[in-house]
Amino acid sequence: MTENLEQLNRQEEQLRMEIRALTDEQKRRYYALERQQVKDPDTYAALNWCFLAGLHHFYLGEHLKGGINLALMLLGGGLLVLMPGYWGWLPILLVLVMELPQLFAAQQVVHRYNNRVMARCLKRVRSGRE
């Protein structure tokens, strides 16, 4: 989370300026690509809030992170069932500690993701690869 909101906004504005410079046909192709790939910050936050098991990572295509979270939550749940006590809570608490900052930075996480999507779509349209 190295970029703050101001940096992300500047980056997005630069990308939008580059998009405005495209031809009408390129813009049509660009927006068709972008529409399929951009993500909603509220959906990301809701998935993080309601399902701490990593579903928000899957939503952004980060399958490794999502898999790790899901595995830790399943491990914790399994330990709670098999060995009632605090051992099952450790993996669950680990996920909570890892994911709490992501919950509060959901806007920035998705903004960064969407800026990357915009840059990739722009590159594809400019190169003629769709």
Q: What is the pTM of this model?
A: 0.84
Instruction: Give the pLDDT confidence score for residue 22 in this predicted structure.
Output: 94
Helix (H, G, I), strand (E, B) or coil at 62: coil
Copy the structure tokens of residue 23: 């031809």
**pLDDT > 90: percent of the chain:** 53
Within 8 A by CB and 6+ apart from 33, the residues are 121, 124, 125, 130
Predicted confidence (pLDDT) at residue 1 exceeds the cutoff of 80: no
**Domain residue ranges in the chain:** 5-127
Predicted confidence (pLDDT) at residue 93 exceeds the cutoff of 80: yes
Mean pLDDT of the chain: 90
Over residues 20-42, mean pLDDT: 95
61 or 98: whose pLDDT is higher? 61
